Amino acid sequence: MNEQFTVVANDSKEKNIDLARIQALFFPLMVLLIGLSNILVLYIGGKQAAEGIIEVGVIPEFLIYVNMLTWPVAVVGWVTNMVQQAAASQKRVNEFLDINPAIQNMVETDTPVTGNITFDHVNFVYEDTNIQALKDVSFTIEAGKTLAILGKTGSGKSTILELIGRLYDVTDGNIIVDDYPIKDLNLDRLRQAIGYVPQDAFLFSDTIGNNIAFGKKDASKDEIIEAAKNAVVHKNIIDFTKDYDTVLGERGITLSGGQKQRVSIARAIIKKPQILLFDDCLSAVDTETEEKILNNLKKVTENTTTIIVSHRVSSAKNADQIIVLDEGRVVENGNHDSLIKNNGYYAELYTNQMMEDDR
């Protein structure tokens, strides 16, 4: 990979050097030709004027004509250069646009989604790195229930969410959604049924209201405010001079990390999806705000299948089911009380985090 990159980079460098060399010669050469044409007009016109063939006033006329013609011709050269550069760029863009997605929609008919999800001995390997992210993962979550996934960094938590959204297909095993293999569901319908909140929230350079309404195109102002209140970000928004009409900077730079995450949560819940996926999206908020958000989510997601990926036990303890991953395997599965009694990784994590909160 490094050798290929070096070859491509060196080839690009050589071509850019050649381009710079040609451009460096082009402008001085053009000025030289303009000067020579003026000298020729003066020389030939002067001789003919001296011989009485033309009048002296004809010489400046020709000089004006020559200069009027020279610059349009020069512009043609510049435009030709720009067109060639644009053509090269367009070629690269077309190569990207012509790529067929690895994940194809296998079903054209509509397939409604209610939210029952089963992982049946799922294994998954990332093709580009050959890293096995999931190893024989099995669990079931009923529609309308909440599943929390805990584990160390790199244990495969986010991979589970990506597989539910069918950003990848499993290497081995099956994912069953509403009694159908996930490949037998209409891909567009599946993704429309999912509300996804990433850890690194992406916000557009637009108003806060439009960023929230992105989850539901025909959302009313009341729905936007209600979603913001449930995400516990309404009070922060109305503190701005233009409240919901405040225009955010690129990628939401106007907001803090916690505010961006909460706006992203509001955007996901406003569409009222059948499945909600939270990928450690409460990492930048304090525990008090987190508790308020989780209590609100419990109300608004009463009939929604919710999967919460987190490093905090506080985000997971009220879930109907909790699984703990370690190196891609499910090492613990149960609810809060049963896992505390198991005295395993979950219980240890709970004890450590409670001790930190007491300090």
Report which listed range, 19-23, 200-204, 208-212, is most confident.
208-212
Compute the average pLDDT of residues 134-157: 90
Determine what percent of the chain is predicted with pLDDT higher than 90. 19
pLDDT band at residue 358, thresholds of 50, 70 and 90?
A: low
Distance between CA atoms of residues 147 and 144, nearest Å: 10
- Report which of residues 224 and 75 the model is more confident about: 224
Q: Closest by alpha carbon to 143, among 181, 117, 172, 107?
A: 117
Which pLDDT does position 13 carry in this prediction? 83
Which pLDDT does position 121 carry in this prediction? 93
Look-up of token digits 């503190």? 239
pLDDT band at residue 60, thresholds of 50, 70 and 90?
A: confident
Q: Which residue type does 285 have?
A: V
Determine what percent of the chain is predicted with pLDDT higher than 70. 98
- pLDDT reading at 253 higher than 60: yes
Which pLDDT does position 280 carry in this prediction? 81
Compute the average pLDDT of residues 81-107: 83
Distance between CA atoms of residues 332 and 338, nearest Å: 10
Compute the average pLDDT of residues 34-54: 81
Sign of the torsion angle spanned by Cα atoms 255, 260, 264, 270: negative
Distance between CA atoms of residues 105 and 274, nearest Å: 20
Distance between CA atoms of residues 15 and 170, nearest Å: 42
Q: Closest by alpha carbon to 277, among 216, 194, 213, 335?
A: 194
Compute the average pLDDT of residues 269-291: 83
Distance between CA atoms of residues 74 and 23, nearest Å: 12
Which pLDDT does position 2 carry in this prediction? 73
Q: Which tens digits make up the pLDDT trace of 177-197?
A: 998 999 999 999 999 999 998
Q: Which residue type does 2 have?
A: N
Q: Where are the alpha helices (DSSP H) in 119-256?
A: 157-164, 187-192, 208-213, 221-230, 234-238
Q: Which tens digits make up the pLDDT trace of 95-121?
A: 888 888 888 888 888 888 888 999 999
Domain spanning 117-358: CATH superfamily: P-loop containing nucleotide triphosphate hydrolases (3.40.50.300)
Distance between CA atoms of residues 230 and 139, nearest Å: 29
Least confident of 5-9, 19-23, 115-119, 191-195: 19-23
Least confident of 26-30, 43-47, 318-322, 350-354: 26-30
Q: Closest by alpha carbon to 321, among 184, 91, 107, 119?
A: 119
Compute the average pLDDT of residues 24-34: 77
pLDDT band at residue 1, thresholds of 50, 70 and 90?
A: low
- pLDDT reading at 94 higher than 70: yes
Q: What is the mean pLDDT of the chain?
A: 85
The angle that helices 287-300 and 221-230 make with each other, rounded to 10 degrees, is 130
Distance between CA atoms of residues 18 and 36, nearest Å: 27
**Helix or strand (DSSP H, E) at 175:** strand 172-177
- pTM higher than 0.85: no
Boundaries of every domain in the chain: 2-97, 117-358
Q: Which tens digits make up the pLDDT trace of 298-313?
A: 888 888 899 999 888 8
- Report which of residues 37 and 223 the model is more confident about: 223
Which pLDDT does position 343 carry in this prediction? 85
Which pLDDT does position 163 carry in this prediction? 93
Q: How far are the Cα atoms of 115, 179, 191, 269 from residue 112, in angstroms, in the given order?
A: 10, 12, 11, 19
The token duo for 96 is 């990207």
Find residue 306's DSSP bridge partners: 146, 276
Which pLDDT does position 199 carry in this prediction? 80
Which pLDDT does position 277 carry in this prediction? 92
- pLDDT reading at 359 higher than 60: no
Q: Which residues, 6 or more positions from 177, have their beta carbon under 8 angstroms from its beta carbon?
A: 113, 115, 116, 117, 118, 164, 185, 190
Q: What angle do CA 337, 339, 340 make, to 5 degrees?
A: 65
Which pLDDT does position 141 carry in this prediction? 92
